[in-house]
Amino acid sequence: MAGHFEATPGGGAAVALDEVEIAILRSLAVQLLELIGPGDEPAEGEDPLAALFAEGPSEPPTDPALARLFPEAYGDEDDELRAASSEFRRFTENDLRTRKREDALVVVRTLDALTPAGDDAAVLTLTADECRSWLGSLNDLRLTIGTRLEVSDEDDGEEGSLYRLPDSDPRKPMVMAYLWLGALQETLVETLMK
pLDDT at 186: 96
Handedness of CA 137, 140, 145, 151 (dihedral sign): positive
What's the distance, Cα to Cα, between the start and end of the chain in Å? 16
Question: 123-136, pLDDT tens digit by residue?
Answer: 999 999 999 999 99
DSSP string across the chain: -BTS-EEETTTEEEEEE-HHHHHHHHHHHHHHHHHH----PPPTTS-HHHHHT----SS--SSHHHHHHS--SS-SSSHHHHHHHHHHHHHHHHHHHHHHHHHHHHHHHHHHT----TTSPEEEEE-HHHHHHHHHHHHHHHHHHHHHTT--TTS-TTTHHHHT--TT-TTHHHHHHHHHHHHHHHHHHHHHT-
pLDDT at 147: 95
DSSP string across 36-55: H----PPPTTS-HHHHHT--
pLDDT at 156: 47
Question: 163-181, pLDDT tens digit by residue?
Answer: 788 888 888 999 999 999 9
For the chain, residues with pLDDT lower than 50 are 1, 156
pLDDT at 155: 55
pLDDT at 49: 64
pLDDT at 1: 46
